[in-house]
Amino acid sequence: MARKQLQNLTESMYYVLLCLKEPLHGYGIMKRIDQMTDGRVKVGPGTLYNLIARFEKEEIVINVTSTDNKKTYVLTDKGFALLDKEWERLKQLVCDGEKILEGYNER
């Protein structure tokens, strides 16, 4: 059976891809997500490992060698496109929410 392609990203997936706009190693990703979200989102090493393995398989990220002997990853063009698409989708969600909820909150 063919593996299901990534459709909508989970919160963990989204933040991992966001971090990999520039090359970064595993621990760096975990740390950056923590800083970026003020500790709201945490991605554990097990979860990160599995996400990276899946992203690599689907050519969303690639492994680039690094000087300190740690594996570093960066988004591929396909990864950028996926992240961009997800960002657009999230913006649309917010936009739709605003239309309905803006006036409602002022009442």
Partner 1 sequence: MKDKEIDSRLRKKVFRLAGVTDYKYLETKYREMASKGWLIEKSKGARDTYVAVEPIDLDFSVTIFQPTGPLEYLNQNKEALYKELCEDGGWTYATSNERYQVYHKPAGADAIPIHTDPVEEYNTIKSAFFKSEIIILIIILIQLFPLISTLMNMRYDNFLRPSGMMSVISPAILIVILSIYFIPVLIWFIKNSQRVKRGETLLFESSRRIVLRNRLYIILMGIYLLYIATSLFGLIFSGVPLVILAIVPIMVLLPLAVGLGMRHKIKKVKHSRKVNLAVLIVVLLITWIVMVTITFGLVGMGMDYNDEEVSAIPDVPILTYTDFQSELDFEPRRVRIQSSFWSPLNFKYNSWYKDVIEGQVNDIGVEYIETRFDLVATTIVDMILKDERENIEQEREYDVDGVTVEDYVYPINGYEDQVDAIYNISSYRSRVILIKGKTIYVVQLDVPVEGERLEMVVDKLFGE
Q: Which chain residues interact with partner 1 by CB under 8 A?
A: 10, 12, 26-27, 30, 34, 42-51, 53, 70-71
Shortest Cβ 40–partner 1 spacing (Å)? 12
Nearer to partner 1, 30 or 83 (CB): 30
> Cβ distance 36 to 79 under 8 Å?
no
Q: CA 50, CA 54: separation in Å to the nearest integer?
A: 6
Shortest Cβ 46–partner 1 spacing (Å)? 4
Nearer to partner 1, 34 or 58 (CB): 34
CA distances from 17 to 40, 43, 56, 67, 74 (A): 17, 12, 12, 22, 8
